[in-house]
Structure 1
Amino acid sequence: MTKDLYGTVAETAALLREGEKYRHERLRAADMISVSEAASLLNVDASTIATWISGGRCIGIAGPDGTLRIPRWQFEPSAWSAIQLVGRALGTQEPWLILVFLETPAAALDGLTPRVALERGTAIERVLAAAISDAH
């Protein structure tokens, strides 16, 4: 008898609940700022931040109420120049996918998250290779 490759309805529902819990907690984390806070931090208009988000230049996550939250750390020089490149390497502009990639430990980066690897000076090419590998 072969094992069913798919989870049960109950298992699927539990996974979805856990994912929703993670998304809710991540949006409320201390490092998440509003569009207006990001605009003030960078001394630009909120419309500029919105343009960057829609173009994949920076990560903006929509909450359940539609309000965008932005990881503040992405404006650090080590990350800022990498966000759009990572999205391209992953083949997406989906902010959750980019965020999760950047915050998930990667074997190709010696167990560091790509974000931490960038902060520690790892070459962007190595992080992009991990992203390309992750996308396949």
Structure 2
Amino acid sequence: MAHDDLTEAAIQAGIASFEATFGRVPDNFRLLAEHAPGAFAGYGLMRSAIMRDRDAGGALDLKTKELIFALLDTLIGQTAGAKNHAAAAVKLGLTLPELAEGLVQVVMAGGITTWNTTGADVMRHCAGIAAEQP
């Protein structure tokens, strides 16, 4: 299926955004791009606008944005996304105490189930990453 120039540019912006922050386009988003390219294009534009660091015009630094996404994904039980975003934040300098504090805020807002279903996995995952860092 052929895309118009605007849709194609938006798809490329989305791909570039994922590659810049995660190093790849996650499988579920590749599937979306393949079967619903217009939807991926819209998401890609939104993502490329929000996932800019301060030096690229973002209001918040990328580490903070990754933490926010990790916390929001934890709240809704999206474990894979929460782990990916939290890991990206840790690689950008987020400390384990900062992550733990944010995850406790999620528990306060969403209940202990958020910890048991997602938060503990996120903390465990990032503790492993931090232990591997020099």
The TM-score normalised by the length of structure 2 is: 0.31
The structure with the largest alpha-carbon Rg is 1
Looking at secondary structure, tell me which structure has more helix per residue.
2
